[in-house]
Chain A
């Protein structure tokens, strides 16, 4: 269990690609820089692909855990907005 408290939760378990990152992108856009989005994903490729997406989109991966059911739990902090 994590000590981080998220500002918003996105349960993307059971979604087909690329909806988890599309939805995570939309959620992050609606947060303020510095706020944290918790994302649940159960696609096996997410272990490595989701952190790559966070990096490419200028956000910060604060923590990554494996859930009790084998899904992944990512805490993503929204990066500074570049105009």
Chain B
């Protein structure tokens, strides 16, 4: 068997290439546009296999599919359950429940598992060179690891949605308990989503595979006593709606044009340098630990989080700043730039090719010193400590002698910070502290970022200073 799982982290999305080593033929399952048709074609070429079809479990609502383009480019069928019907404005090869698809020695059985969407199918795979028994199943957004696909991503048009949220929840329960949980418990589960994906709920695991047995025993939504309790549980534990899901779903149905790829080419290192020279700041949205290893001179670090990146930027930085965005990947940088623009920042663009393009152009890179809490404890006398959390957190326990400089006040407060010598900045983990450290570093201070922050400090039972409750402030005053 040929089996490849491609995890696309920013969307918590998994796509697959599965095929037969003897026949040298393979299917791609649920390809994502962020990776693109070329990626899957290159993978297939690299493995020396011919693609013979593109399978989709359903019409996706939280990422743009490239199944049509991939199938078209290779000239192979694009398979979807037949109940998609004419809701999709493009031709596809319709599948029926229990239909068998053969690729070399692999036998793939279509199992209609409506719930997340009405046309949702799972693909049960047997490698007949080993056994006629099923080996693994692509569950799409029906059964997820620790969770289930949400039933509430509707377009608000009955003709396109077919069944409503309530019916979808009931169908999801039946599909999983009556079609998937009846499979042998050793059958491996490969879902379409994991981790931070908003198609699942808060119990969605960061692990992108499981088994039927494990999920039957420990999947919380499915441990509910009946379909009604399941529906309530799923609703109460769902995450916020994926951003823009109506538009994405409309694109995947062919109702809307796809955004042109690369419609916003990145800034070249030369352009980025010129922007910085004219007073723009580099906003680096990569994780602090990665930022610390190397970044553009003077860059600020604000870790990407779709739900609140723009809010945290608005809290901490003046709206008048011109920005150049740096991300781990092109798509994260583009999304960060969009989110920041929507909230009123002037984003000149993102650094095309990210930091590696910057380095390749021979531009200078700065690092940020990091220190672990154990080392910090042994060298407290060497540092002025800065606590980047809020006043109430500081009051509840801080490291002795630390100065309070909440992340939202650091841009203005940095000037007045009375610190000679080296400064060590901490917060609860290292997200806020990395922002404050990067701000202080622009003031030419010698700065170290404390990795793990107060959470790590407390875990080790290192000493903290507490202060009594402060005098009552006005009701609802935000954040301290």
Which residues of A are at the interface with B, using a C-beta cutoff of 8 A?
Answer: 11, 13-19, 21-29, 31, 33, 42-45, 48-49, 52-53, 55-59, 67-69, 71, 78-82
Contacts and interface: CB of A to CB of B under 8 A. Distances in A.
B202 A69 contact: yes
Output the residue of A18, A21, A53, A67 with the most chain B CB within 10 A: A18
A14 B474 CA distance: 27
Given A68-B233, A69-B237, 16 more contacts: A16-B303, A16-B431, A16-B432, A18-B389, A21-B480, A28-B476, A33-B475, A45-B454, A53-B390, A56-B473, A57-B474, A58-B474, A67-B237, A68-B236, A78-B476, A82-B475
Contacts of B455: 44-45
Contacts of B201: 69
Interface stretch (B106-114, B159-167, B168-176, B307-315): B307-315
Chain A interface SS verdict (over half) = loop
Contacts of A24: 478
A56 B392 contact: yes
- Ranked nearest first, the 9 interchain pairs of A and B with the lowest CB-CB distance are A25-B478, A28-B476, A29-B476, A79-B475, A58-B472, A53-B392, A69-B202, A52-B392, A22-B479
B320 interface: no
Given A18-B407, A25-B479, A57 B473 contact: yes
Contacts of A13: 202, 239
A22 B315 contact: yes
Contact of A52 (B307, B395, B432, B479): B395
Interface string B410-442: 000000000000000001100110000000000
A56 B400 CA distance: 21
Interface in B186-236: 201-203, 220, 233, 236
Interface in B380-403: 389-393, 395-396
Contacts of B427: 17
A60 B395 CA distance: 18
Contacts of A23: 311
B470 A56 contact: yes
Nearest to A42: B202
A68 B475 contact: no
22 contacts: A13-B202, A14-B239, A14-B240, A15-B308, A16-B303, A16-B308, A16-B312, A17-B431, A18-B407, A18-B432, A19-B308, A21-B480, A25-B476, A25-B477, A29-B478, A33-B475, A45-B454, A45-B455, A52-B393, A53-B393, A56-B470, A82-B474
B475 A57 contact: yes
Contact of B389 (A15, A17, A26, A55): A17
Contacts of A79: 472, 475-476
A63 to B, nearest CB: 17
Interface of B: 201-203, 220, 233, 236-237, 239-240, 303, 305, 307-308, 311-312, 315, 389-393, 395-396, 406-408, 427-428, 431-432, 454-455, 469-470, 472-480
A27 B475 CA distance: 11
B469 A55 contact: yes
B396 A52 contact: yes
Nearest to B428: A45
Contacts of A31: 476
Contacts of B390: 17-18, 21, 53
A78 B477 CA distance: 11
Of B233, B312, B432, the most chain A CB neighbours within 10 A belong to: B312
Nearest to A28: B476
Nearest to A26: B478
Contact of A48 (B237, B307, B396, B478): B396
Contacts of A19: 308, 311-312, 315
Contacts of B431: 16-17
Nearest to B307: A14
Contacts of A67: 237
A71 B201 CA distance: 12
Nearest to B236: A68
Contacts of B311: 19, 22-23
Nearest to A21: B479
Nearest to A83: B474
Contacts of A71: 202
Given A21-B478, A52-B395, A52-B396, A82 B305 contact: no
B457 to A, nearest CB: 12
Contact of B240 (A11, A22, A68): A11
B194 to A, nearest CB: 15
* Best-surrounded residue of B303, B392, B473 (most CB of chain A within 10 A): B392
A28 B223 CA distance: 36
Given A14-B240, A18-B389, A18-B390, A80 B475 contact: yes
B478 to A, nearest CB: 3
B472 A49 contact: no
A14 B12 CA distance: 14
